[in-house]
Structure 1
Amino acid sequence: MTPARRLRNIIGGSAGNLVEWFDWFAYAAFTVYFAPIFFPEGDSTAQLLSAAAVFAVGFLMRPVGAWVMGVYSDRKGRKAGLTLSVTLMCTGSLIIACTPGHASIGLAAPALLLFARMLQGLSVGGEYGSSATYLSEMATARHRGFWSSFQYVTLISGQLLALLLLIVLQKTMAEPDLAAWGWRIPFFVGAALAVVVFWLRRRLDETSAFIASDANEAPKSSALLLILKHPKEALMVLGLTAGGTVAFYTYTTYLQKFLVNTSGFSKTTATEISAAALFVFMLLQPAVGALSDRIGRRPVMIAFGVAGVLFTVPIMTALSGVDSPFIAFLLAMTALVIVSGYTSINAVVKAELFPAHIRALGVALPYAIANALFGGTAEYAALWFKGEGMESAYFWYVTGLIGLSLLTYIRMRDTGRNSLITHD
């Protein structure tokens, strides 16, 4: 494969990942506006808590999606898995965009919202394993950390675009209109972009690693095979993900609500702070990924673990009492620099742990389980602690999970030096 063709495939796979995550994060970005539409009872915290519960249910579907679509991607090809995942995401976004509010159809409104998030959870559960595997296999060994980091570049880009669209709508629409119907716009946009991505993904090349595995008639991917033959690696993915995912969702999806509900910023200011921090965070990913190609994956992840344990509580405590948007941005940015030690290389580390015939499932399923337990519940847990009057306990909860992951990083081998990806 020529370098130009390889680059085209990486860009094509990354562009699809961006749209997938735009659709996924649009829910989080616009929650403060549509929560009263679907959950009219209670104060603002109660409404956000109900919407966060639906967000968490989407994460609970991710292990199912990871299992079903991970097996599908291992058996039918990475390209096939990527195409199916974007189809499910498009359907979920359309349902959210078109569903009437509680005032019109009663309990059917939150029920349809829940169903749509379940579809999106299935999609994202499969998307992570397929895209992480595709980008890691498509990259060359020398620059695998750099190129695979674009999974989180596009993931963050999707979240950033959702926030930027929110800022544009906040600037151009009256707040009552945005709360009444304007929040539906991003879901229509996401569904339309997903159609474009479907076409792009149909034109991707399959990876040589999958082709070789398929030709060698390797054992068929299944959850039973993963448990029986690769239990250590699966548990390792669970351990290395737990702290990273709760830190990521704390400083990205939850940060916007934290700045409004706790710090006291307006919705517009909180969105602008989050967007600015995410933009710099996005730019950091390739740099840290390239660093891992030079010094190894393990030192980079250990650096995240140590800094996360030491600084999570001080950063969150300072953010809770800050009144300057610039200081809030600096604190958020400091946290995200730390988290980059996980986000930039976690996909390639997982992919390098497994042989090709079970790689997509091995990457996706334990990661999705960890996300369902710790990532998807992060926002709900934070709001629950706040509702109980002990918000600072959440800061220690995040610290504890990062500490758990740090133990995994210390004990694991450096996958960059001992990779099971044997085909470029």
Structure 2
Amino acid sequence: MTSTVAAPAVRSVRGGTDNGRKALLAATVGGVVESFDWAIYAVLAPYFASQLFPGDDPVTKLMAAYLGFAVGFVVRPFGSYVMGRLSDTRGRRFGLTLSMAIISGASVLIAALPTAAMIGVGAPVLLLLLRLVQGLSMGGENPAAAAYVTETAPGRLRFLYSAISYSGVIVGNILSFGVLAVLLATLGKDGVAGGGWRIGFLVAAALGLLALWIRRSAEESEAFAEQKSTTTRAERFALYKANARNMLAVFLLTLGITVGYYYGTTYLPQYAEKVGAASGADSAAAMLLPLVVLIGAMVFAGRTADRVGELKAIRVGLGLLALGTVPLMLALAHGTMPMWLVTTVYLLLVATPLGVTNVLFAQLFPVAVRTVAMGVPFTVGVGLFGGTFPLLAEWLGKTGHLAAVPWWAAAAATIAFLATFLVRLPQRTDS
């Protein structure tokens, strides 16, 4: 299907294969850092909550820590607009470099935070402020990276590049669970809770510096350079309005995919521990192999989407995710499947939607408004449904309704599946 004039033909514009690969590396390494920063907070929350949040009830402290996880998502849409406008007006490279510098700096400050025993409520207040700063920056990171890959990838490998670039997010998750596993093995649970958790945020900052160094050599996309500063404010508003249907589709698709992603990559160790399927240390270690498998599955899904079409691929993936979530989690809870197998199968179901949508979302919109038009509905969806998922799941568990968690994830995948029928693809010209 073709779209209105507001969504022109998608064209892969690049300065050669080497430039495309450099752009892919620059986008991918940013995904590693963004994901690690976000995931390390979630997986370390059960350990630093006792130090950074005042009070006596450990469950309440953990829920407060998860609230900090969710708060960072609240400002992502605003950050997506602010950082996205910079990316749409000053360049993809500028936006990607600025966001990475801010994310890394905030990680250093989190690692150095004084405890609640030292400054009382000041500790959680400072933590929340730093998470807000990171959320602002991360709001523009993924949309700018997706736009960059869309504009620099070889035409017939667009979704393969999409999957590879977004695999950086999975690598970040692998590293976060790896860091947690190493910390638990060397320091023990008490050592991590006693201050060893700070090492995780220092690792995040070091990864950010590496990403900045790599992005220094990346060139601006030619697609952006060709249209730079040629669109007025009124024209931008008209483009947003004309593409409202696709923006709604991005939001609804993100709803289902982000719930599945955060369930499978962030909250599943906690869920497995609560249903008695694994201990905290065992469940963290059990995440590593399934996440590696997920990367391979995403690459396969991206190549498949290049051959059969992105919408067909994503509909199959979301349909299977909607149907398979509840049976898999019931098998985990009843002990009929081990955690590593449940996690692997579940992440295989998440792989296609996760790998394909990175570039699918970006290509739906004109270059002049691409980062903002994709980023705002994407970050609103992630903030409302992905960032709040651990908090919601923890609350359901505390109120005796833990069994509802997989049903919510299945319902979210169903909504995303139906949203694929709202999508209007632009004309595609491959080179």
Length-normalised TM-score, structure 1: 0.93
Q: In structure 2, how many angstroms separate the alpha carbons of the residues matched to 1:107 and 1:322?
A: 42
Q: In structure 2, how many angstroms separate the alpha carbons of the residues matched to 1:80 and 1:423?
A: 27
Question: CA-to-partner distance for each residue in 1:289-328, whole Å, 9 max, x for gaps?
Answer: 010000001111111221122121111222223387xx21
Q: In structure 2, how many angstroms separate the alpha carbons of the residues matched to 1:134 and 1:221?
A: 24
Q: In structure 2, how many angstroms separate the alpha carbons of the residues matched to 1:340 and 1:42?
A: 40
User: Does structure 1 retain, via aligned residues, the 8 Å contact 2:277–2:339?
Assistant: no
Question: CA-to-partner distance for each residue in 1:367-403, whole Å, 9 max, x for gaps?
Answer: 0001111111111111111111111222222222211
Correspondence 1:353 to 2:367:
no
Moved more, 75-84 or 217-226: 217-226
Count of residues in Structure 1 that have an aligned counterpart in Structure 2: 417
Correspondence 1:405 to 2:421:
no
User: Which residue of 401, 405, 416 corresponds with 1:390?
Assistant: 401
Correspondence 1:305 to 2:314:
no
Q: In structure 2, how many angstroms separate the alpha carbons of the residues matched to 1:313 and 1:174?
A: 33
Q: In structure 1, how many angstroms separate the alpha carbons of the residues matched to 2:410 and 2:422?
A: 19
For residues 331-350 of structure 1, what are the structure 2 equivalents within 5 Å? 331-350=342-361
Correspondence 1:367 to 2:381:
no
> 3-state DSSP class of the match of 1:344?
helix
Question: CA-to-partner distance for each residue in 1:232-282, whole Å, 9 max, x for gaps?
Answer: 111111111111111111111111211223335222101011122112112
User: Does structure 1 retain, via aligned residues, the 8 Å contact 2:87–2:94?
Assistant: yes
The aligned amino acid for 2:309 is G
Give the superposition deviation at 1:196.
2.8
Q: Label 1:334 to 1:174 Cα distance change in 2 as closer, same or farther (>3 A).
A: closer
Correspondence 1:66 to 2:80:
yes
Correspondence 1:116 to 2:125:
no
Give the superposition deviation at 1:43.
4.2
Give the superposition deviation at 1:14.
1.4
Give the superposition deviation at 1:5.
2.9
User: Does structure 2 retain, via aligned residues, the 8 Å contact 1:70–1:81?
Assistant: yes
Q: In structure 1, how many angstroms separate the alpha carbons of the residues matched to 2:352 and 2:316?
A: 7
The aligned amino acid for 1:213 is Q
Match of 2:276 in 1: 263
Question: CA-to-partner distance for each residue in 1:314-361, whole Å, 9 max, x for gaps?
Answer: 11222223387xx21111111111111210011111111001000111
Q: In structure 2, how many angstroms separate the alpha carbons of the residues matched to 1:357 and 1:79?
A: 15
For residues 66-145 of structure 1, what are the structure 2 equivalents within 5 Å? 66-145=80-159
Give the superposition deviation at 1:221.
9.0
User: Does structure 2 retain, via aligned residues, the 8 Å contact 1:69–1:126?
Assistant: yes
Q: In structure 2, how many angstroms separate the alpha carbons of the residues matched to 1:292 and 1:423?
A: 14
Q: Label 1:169 to 1:222 Cα distance change in 2 as closer, same or farther (>3 A).
A: farther
Give the superposition deviation at 1:42.
4.6
The aligned amino acid for 2:321 is G
The aligned amino acid for 1:361 is V
Give the superposition deviation at 1:412.
2.7
Q: In structure 1, how many angstroms separate the alpha carbons of the residues matched to 2:88 and 2:194?
A: 44
Q: In structure 1, how many angstroms separate the alpha carbons of the residues matched to 2:430 and 2:325?
A: 39
Match of 1:182 in 2: 196
Give the superposition deviation at 1:9.
2.4
Moved more, 20-29 or 191-200: 191-200
Amino-acid identity (%)? 33
The aligned amino acid for 1:235 is L
| Superposition RMSD in Å | 2.0
Length-normalised TM-score, structure 2: 0.92
Moved more, 102-111 or 169-178: 169-178
Moved more, 291-300 or 254-263: 254-263
Match of 1:21 in 2: 35
Q: In structure 1, how many angstroms separate the alpha carbons of the residues matched to 2:286 and 2:57?
A: 25
> 3-state DSSP class of the match of 2:107?
helix
Give the superposition deviation at 1:82.
0.1
The unaligned stretches of length 5 or more in structure 2 are 1-14
User: Does structure 1 retain, via aligned residues, the 8 Å contact 2:91–2:224?
Assistant: yes
User: Which residue of 238, 241, 260 corresponds with 1:228?
Assistant: 241
User: Which residue of 274, 282, 293 corresponds with 2:306?
Assistant: 293
User: Does structure 2 retain, via aligned residues, the 8 Å contact 1:13–1:204?
Assistant: no
Q: Label 1:65 to 1:4 Cα distance change in 2 as closer, same or farther (>3 A).
A: same
The unaligned stretches of length 5 or more in structure 1 are none
Match of 1:150 in 2: 164
Moved more, 161-170 or 353-362: 161-170
User: Does structure 1 retain, via aligned residues, the 8 Å contact 2:240–2:369?
Assistant: no
Q: Label 1:161 to 1:73 Cα distance change in 2 as closer, same or farther (>3 A).
A: same
Q: In structure 2, how many angstroms separate the alpha carbons of the residues matched to 1:239 and 1:69?
A: 22
